[in-house]
Structure 1
Amino acid sequence: MSEISSARKIHFISIGGSVMHNLAIELHLKGFIITGSDDEIYEPSVSRLVKYELLPAMTGWFPEKITSDLEAVILGMHARQDNPELAKARELGIKIYSYPEYIFEQSENKQRVVIAGSHGKTTITSMILHALKFNNRIFNYLVGAQIEGFDNMVKLSNEAPLIVIEGDEYFTSPIDLTPKFMHYQPHIALISGIAWDHFNVFPTWELYVKQFESLADSLPKAGAIIFDETDDMLDVIGQKERPDVISTPYNVHPNKIVDGKTILITSELGEVPILVFGDHNMKNISGAHAVCERIGLTDEEFYNAIRTFKGASKRMELLGKNSDTLVYRDFAHAPSKVGATTSALKEQFPERTLVAVAELHTFSSLNKEFLKQYRRKLNAADIAVVYFNPLTIEHKKLEALTEEDIRTAFKRDNLEIFTDSSKLADFLKTQDWENSNLLLMSSGTFGDMDLKELVEEVLKLG
């Protein structure tokens, strides 16, 4: 790869995307001249683009930004096939990349590790990055959430011999329906588990599973697949005979809970206290350990690092606490995640009342047919609450949901259901928070609820 010159110009179509804006920032810091467009940009993308003076002056699409001196255009998934800037780039014969294609080109001569799966991939990627940084390794990365100690979600440097990539199974761009992770061509692939939760993209379970099988089948000779052996379907994929590909299963890491604290049990270093908890995170740690072992970290290096891992942003994130109450937020937006997160918090603090709130926000979760996937997923909670915004259903052009639809799907008669975020907040503020924990689960915003104010009120009552 040649050294970067300040004369090199790249334009981002749909610059506001989570990875897209981080890639734009990284290339800006490397000396590229960066421009971009989008028809809607939300926080935290807005603030981060403003910081680096990369926020477009106006929202919308402007073909005049596409000029013949551009080295390339990077196309985000949010854009449409008929995007006028895309049309202009094609007309001028400018090289068009999706961000996975661009990341691959920049890492073609590196060892590539891809972390995939329906759940846990952000946390596992974050654990690996934390361990590498803790041990002063040089590496590149792409991860789907902000991590403590990392300024950006994308790092590309010429000197790094390795790149760790969080890879998802969804379409690459509006003009490329290949799963993103197929473009990275990994030498090592970890698949954390398969739970069908986006039937609008993959209408059948079989089609969804096929994406992960294709990833495993794509591994080169001397490659390695690392997989969660507790996942029945993944066990079938992982154990499939592939010539000259190493297959490594993992499971829940041995551990114990003492006074609400989780301690890993290791043969190498004895007992190792950690800051995260839950069986899903014990599996995440085992998966991260297996990857780190393959890329050259010793057991001692890994376990010394994992002691200080606090988790990725919005993944079982502690929003506030006092002696009686803990308040957590989790990105759980699919049935399997809701079930795992709720159970984990109850198991960690079995003597405390658990109030669990799940927002139905994604296309799948608001679909009447898909809702039955949530059956009994909130059963570990003492008080179970579901919130959804009818306006979101309208916006997604889905059939209206009734409270009875929700209650039937979750199979819980005493389920509390809210469609008004202010009433939800009032309900939470009137609970008895003595010796109780609150869990807020969503990929949305609970109707733009002021979570900081809610947490303060809850902790006052605890």
Structure 2
Amino acid sequence: MRVHFIAIGGSAMHNLAIALHKKGFTVTGSDDHIFEPSASRLAGYGLLPAAEGWYPEKISTGLDAVILGMHARTDNPELLKAQELGLTIYSYPDYIYEQSKNKLRVVIGGSHGKTSITSMILHVLQQAGKKFDYLVGAQLDGFETMVGLTEDAPVIIIEGDEYLASPIDRRPKFHIYKANIGVISGIAWDHINVFPTFDNYTEQFKIFIETIQPSGKLIYCKTDEVLNDVVAGLETGIDKLPYALPPHVIENGITNIIYDEKIYPLQVFGEHNLLNIEAARLVCRQLDIDADAFYTAMGTFKGAARRLELVGKNDLAAIYKDFAHSPSKLKATIQAVKAQFADRELIACIELHTFSSLNEDFLAEYSGTMAQADTAIVFIDKKTFEQKKLEPYGADTVKKAFANPRLVFFDDPEQLLQYINHIKLINCNLLMMSSGNFGGLDLAEVKNKLL
């Protein structure tokens, strides 16, 4: 098979390219910008394009498929050539489905927790020695790539987000996979640039449920009121398996799950992670892994990259980084750290970086989300406003939206760094949350300075 990737440098795209290369496909690709770590990883497999840019001459009738990344535009010269030649053009979720249509497909959806739930399932299946394929949105310990495709695995575990598949396929990705087992962790409005109203956003999850195959199963969080209402209002021929918080206790800074009179210590923490664990357990139960084997394996799970990831600690303090950027993720992550370290103060810093989070009309969704932080910091790199062509706003607007007059606001990376470098971390934790990089802030240097 000969496959060409348009926008090969994307996170999912370059991992899929590597997975198909390892499967024996002939893989080529193009992109106008390829950043790290994509560039080094593609180079390691001989897949890095010789030069950046778009080259229509790479597109020929000898290709079996063209895979189009979301980063490409509808007027991309390679896309136009592929369309002119009548080639088969896939989005990457389309091609994942094409490679897995004869397998049992487990698709994890929801506004939050998708990567963590998927990672937990992969960790347990690996510990159990099961054969499986996968697609996950973060780099995991023990997994070389974020996509794994084989001929013989009977099941594939797919992180299925609700964002659009490609510039020419405006369906949410998780609609495409046709799950046999679907998971929804919760519904909290996101992607305002694509789903301008809450009802429009919620509708995507109803459609996802309707794509679950006959005699399939829906695993969902019954403590999420919006999700509970959505599930209750749908009549489908699938089994509905709800989950909630498991019995647990926090002792000496360690969260322990209690099941069948046994105690299982965990390395992760927070109520959101406990809910994620229960979703993963119900999936693994469908894959013939019992509760004892599941919870035992979870004891060695350290978490996915940038999901409450420990940057460094000493006896009196710790620094964590997290991918949280939406209101629901921000609130859950702050609650988790406060509950785990009840005797310590918490300094929490969020970078607003995505289109939704920066949209002034959406900003009020953050009201009260940082209330549990002892010191709340919001950072917006002023260059981000320019890049996204949004009208900038200042501290007063942010404080009003967050309903937090004590909130500290920065729009300059240097000023943020100066503030953080003067923090005294004694009986105190620092939590840094962003889907960006705080304007180039080096958290390793911050750790060395503060700890």
Could you say whether these structures have the same fold, taking a TM-score greater than 0.5 normalized by the shorter chain as the test? yes
Contact 2:163–2:191 (8 Å) recurs in 1: no
Tell me which residue corresponds to 2:46. 53
Contact 2:347–2:376 (8 Å) recurs in 1: yes
* Residue among 9, 31, 38 paired with 1:16: 9
* Residue among 368, 372, 384 paired with 1:392: 384
CA distance in 1, matches of 2:238, 2:436: 40
Tell me which residue corresponds to 1:229. 222
Contact 1:37–1:60 (8 Å) recurs in 2: yes
Structure 2 residue 350 is matched with structure 1 residue 358: yes
Contact 2:382–2:412 (8 Å) recurs in 1: no
Tell me which residue corresponds to 1:319. 311
CA distance in 2, matches of 1:101, 1:430: 49
CA distance in 2, matches of 1:379, 1:244: 42
CA distance in 2, matches of 1:71, 1:213: 34
Contact 2:39–2:48 (8 Å) recurs in 1: yes
| SS of the residue 1:338 aligns to | helix
* Residue among 406, 423, 427 paired with 2:419: 427
1:99-138 equivalent positions in 2, closer than 5 A? 99-138=92-131
1:282-321 equivalent positions in 2, closer than 5 A? 282-321=274-313
| SS of the residue 2:355 aligns to | coil
Deviations 1:189-235 (A, max 9, x none): 00000110211110010010000001112222211001011111110
Q: Structure 2: any 5+ residue segments left out of the alignment? A: none
Structure 2 residue 63 is matched with structure 1 residue 70: yes
CA distance in 2, matches of 1:216, 1:244: 11
CA distance in 1, matches of 2:237, 2:188: 28
**Which region of structure 1 is more displaced relative to structure 2, 183-192 or 393-402?**
393-402
Return the offset for 1:407. 0.9
Tell me which residue corresponds to 1:342. 334
Identity of aligned residues (%): 52
CA distance in 2, matches of 1:46, 1:409: 39
Structure 2 residue 267 is matched with structure 1 residue 279: no
Contact 1:216–1:237 (8 Å) recurs in 2: no
CA distance in 2, matches of 1:93, 1:33: 20
| SS of the residue 2:106 aligns to | strand
Structure 1 runs of 4+ aligned residues shifted over 6 Å read: none
CA distance in 2, matches of 1:144, 1:39: 22
Q: CA RMSD in A?
A: 1.1
Q: Structure 1: any 5+ residue segments left out of the alignment? A: 1-7
Return the offset for 1:159. 0.6
| SS of the residue 2:90 aligns to | strand
| SS of the residue 2:365 aligns to | helix
* Residue among 245, 249, 254 paired with 1:252: 245
- Counterpart residue identity of residue 235, structure 1: N
- Counterpart residue identity of residue 375, structure 2: I
Contact 2:190–2:201 (8 Å) recurs in 1: no
**Alpha-carbon distance change, 242 to 296 in structure 1, aligned in 2, over 3 angstroms:** farther
**Which region of structure 1 is more displaced relative to structure 2, 328-337 or 64-73?**
64-73
Return the offset for 1:243. 4.3
- Counterpart residue identity of residue 278, structure 1: G
Contact 2:91–2:165 (8 Å) recurs in 1: yes
Tell me which residue corresponds to 2:443. 451
Return the offset for 1:304. 1.3
Contact 1:138–1:161 (8 Å) recurs in 2: yes
Return the offset for 1:241. 4.8
How many residues are treated as equivalent by the alignment?
A: 451
Deviations 1:247-270 (A, max 9, x none): 011111211100111000111x61
Return the offset for 1:119. 0.2
Contact 2:210–2:236 (8 Å) recurs in 1: no
CA distance in 2, matches of 1:243, 1:177: 25
Q: Given the two structures, how large is their TM-score scaled by the length of structure 2?
A: 0.98
- Counterpart residue identity of residue 270, structure 1: K
- Counterpart residue identity of residue 211, structure 1: Q
**Which region of structure 1 is more displaced relative to structure 2, 438-447 or 247-256?**
247-256
Return the offset for 1:239. 2.8
